[in-house]
Copies of this chain bind each other. A is one copy, B any other.
Amino acid sequence: MLQILFYIAITAEAMTAALAAGRRKMDWFGVCLLACVTALGGGTMRDTFLDHYPLYWVGNPYVLLLVCGAALFTIIIARVMDRLRWAFLALDALGLVVFTIVGCNVAMEINAHPLIVIVSGMVTGIVGGILRDVLCNDVPLVFRSELYATVSIVTGAIYYFGAMTDINRDILIIIAVAIGFPLRMVALWRKWEMPKFVYDKDL
């Protein structure tokens, strides 16, 4: 089940990246490259941190074709994209939660410290979007937007502590998604934000 959710999540991330590329007037190649960095960058950084080789996409190179295909498909359907806004944000939220669970799994397999399990989930969930924003020359949205990283941390914590118990793994995944996903959607809808730190003096 996680496998299916994972491919949906990768596709959703690739599509958000393609739209970001379009806003920067990139060419088709740039669209594909930005999609790959966004969809696979989080997992790549996690695996580099944990020395977990081969990287997912090196072992399963066809995922590169899936990502590029999703990105190019987005170019075709861009015209109707704004009418799909909420479907799209929902897919992106699902992607965040699923990537987090996948990242926690990888760290738990190598018996990492609980803090590292949470960080591993968070890196997998949010780094792709950070790289996308850096390559588009923006201050990453995740540093300022609605509970994005918080959702990842909450989901990771639920998943980690759930896995301590003897709950069936598939049921645990459903529980984690059923909490993390609506949390993100409600945060988007109600514009919940973390308090901001504003400092305007030069050092």
Please report the C-alpha to C-alpha distance between residue A45 and residue B125 in the assembled complex, in whole angstroms: 21
Q: Is the CB of B119 within 8 A of A24?
A: no
Question: Which residues of B sit under 8 angstroms from A138, Cβ to Cβ?
Answer: 137
Question: Which residues of B sit under 8 angstroms from A53, Cβ to Cβ?
Answer: 51
CB distance from A196 to the nearest CB of B (A): 5
The verdict on A139 contacting B24 (CB below 8 Å), with A78-B199, A116-B61, A197-B75 known, is yes
Closest residue to A152 on the B side, CB-wise?
B29
Question: Which residues of B sit under 8 angstroms from A44, Cβ to Cβ?
Answer: 49
A27's contact among B51, B54, B119, B196, by CB below 8 Å, is which?
A: B196
Please report the C-alpha to C-alpha distance between residue A23 and residue B29 in the assembled complex, in whole angstroms: 27
Q: Is the CB of B85 within 8 A of A196?
A: no
Question: Which residues of B sit under 8 angstroms from A195, Cβ to Cβ?
Answer: 27-28
Question: Which residues of B sit under 8 angstroms from A82, Cβ to Cβ?
Answer: 201
Which residues 167-203 of A sit at the B interface, judged by CB distance below 8 A?
A: 193-201, 203
Which residues 100-127 of A sit at the B interface, judged by CB distance below 8 A?
A: 112-113, 115-116, 119
